[in-house]
Amino acid sequence: MKYVTKNIILDILIGIFLVPIIAVSVFFISFLVKGQSINEATSALAERIVSMINKTRSFSEEESGKVFNDQNVILPQQVNNVGYTFYLGQIDYPDAAEIGDGLKKGITNIIHAANFPKRLLNNLAIVTVNTLAANSNQYIKMPPDKFLKVNEFSPDFVKGGSIFSQRTKEYSIIFINKDIISNTLNRLKLVLTHELGHQIGIQLTAKDWEEYYRLRKIPKGTSKYGQSWQLSPSEDFAEVYKYIYTDDPIKTVYGLLVLKNGFWAEEGICKEIYEKLVDDYTKDETEQQRKDFWKFDFTFSDHYAEHQNDEIIISNIELQNCRRDVLLHPQKYPKAYEFVTLVGLPYESTVSQETRDFFNKIIKRFN
């Protein structure tokens, strides 16, 4: 069985029936319109016909002129569950089992827990992928007649477990590696919520992004896609969305970076910056205050650790840049990672209440 786009048939019919009519009409119109030359009449009429043809087309450029073999076409099924409607498909071998109700319910629960706007599900397909069965000749068919090409998956897809792809202005696809589904639904919850964040992010206006940059302390002029994954404002948006609805730590490096629970003091160059800031901040303390502090036999490090949550100190740009560099280049700061196996990364990005309010406002807009 072959899939032939309706647009190809339409173009053939136009060629057979309209071309002779156009030829006759040009001469007819040129005599009716006073003062209009044949060339002028031809040009005006041609533009009108081209406009009519373009209006009848509802396909993306990648599907134009394509003939699709049915074995390479993935047809996502429409899932309707407790008020949510979404498209779910799979890339797998022909004899693979059908998508079960358990996965459909699980994805519904994830969408609901993430407070995801129902309206943004209309043009979104969620596709699970067996990477061994995937190839670059495959297409996702979305209603009514949209064929969206599946690009090759990189090794990062196996490691990360998912990828968001905006294929046309109207349609997006979330690809989920089947391996993470078989391992645990919790992993699916984290990666899918992150990718749903991208579907919201692509709807933002320039003004929305300007406000988001301010809230997350992202330097003006930074490309939305950044120099790397950790420095991408687009990825940061998806990470913050995921954090708000799953409490999973943010892995990008924007926002206010604070010492993670389990780390009681700075290390290395960041420690020097931090201690100088504390000294400057406390220089006006009275002698009695200092004596009262030290009489409890606190250590030198304790003195500085007591200020680790003081926003005036930790929001210092130099200190924040140092902490960001530690996260971006762990090989340069081995001492800061001595306890990483026990408590994870030394710093974590925080989310302000103002940022949470921003997300609530955006979600409400799209609901």
Same domain, 230 and 321: no
Q: What integer pLDDT is reported at residue 307 of this predicted model?
A: 60
Residue numbers in the chain where pLDDT is lower than 50? 2, 4-10, 12, 19, 24, 26-34, 36, 39-44, 46-47, 49-67, 293-294, 296-301
Same domain, 97 and 163: yes
Determine, yes or no, domain membership for 133: yes
Same domain, 235 and 270: no
Q: Distance (Å, rounded) from C-alpha 200 to C-alpha 241?
A: 9
Q: What integer pLDDT is reported at residue 29 of this predicted model?
A: 47
Q: Which residues contact 155 (CB under 8 A, 6 or more apart)?
A: none
Same domain, 298 and 261: yes
103 within 8 A of 349, measured Cβ to Cβ: no
Determine, yes or no, domain membership for 148: yes
Q: Distance (Å, rounded) from C-alpha 262 to C-alpha 275?
A: 19
90 within 8 A of 181, measured Cβ to Cβ: no
Q: What integer pLDDT is reported at residue 43 of this predicted model?
A: 45
Residue with tokens 């002028």, as numbered in its chain: 40
Whole-model pTM: value is 0.77
Distances (CA, A) of 55 to 18, 52, 58, 244: 16, 5, 8, 42
Q: What integer pLDDT is reported at residue 169 of this predicted model?
A: 75
Instruction: From 57, 78, 100, give the residue that closes a domain.
Output: 57
Same domain, 152 and 15: no
Residue 226 domain boundaries: 204-252+357-367
Backbone angles phi, psi at 84, to 5 degrees: -105, 135
Give residue-wise pLDDT tens across range 25-84: 544 444 444 454 554 444 445 445 434 433 333 334 344 334 455 779 999 999 999 999
Q: What integer pLDDT is reported at residue 288 of this predicted model?
A: 60
Q: What integer pLDDT is reported at residue 291 of this predicted model?
A: 55
DSSP state of 164: E
Closest CA to 57 of 102, 4, 11, 118: 11
Same domain, 148 and 76: yes
Q: What integer pLDDT is reported at residue 5 of this predicted model?
A: 47
Q: What integer pLDDT is reported at residue 252 of this predicted model?
A: 97
Outline where the chain has alpha helix (H).
6-32, 38-56, 101-113, 155-160, 178-183, 185-201, 206-215, 233-246, 268-281, 287-294, 300-305, 311-314, 317-328, 340-343, 353-366
Same domain, 123 and 217: no
Q: What integer pLDDT is reported at residue 261 of this predicted model?
A: 66
Distances (CA, A) of 175 to 133, 164, 334: 14, 6, 36
Determine, yes or no, domain membership for 106: yes
Give the tokens for residue 190.
């984290």
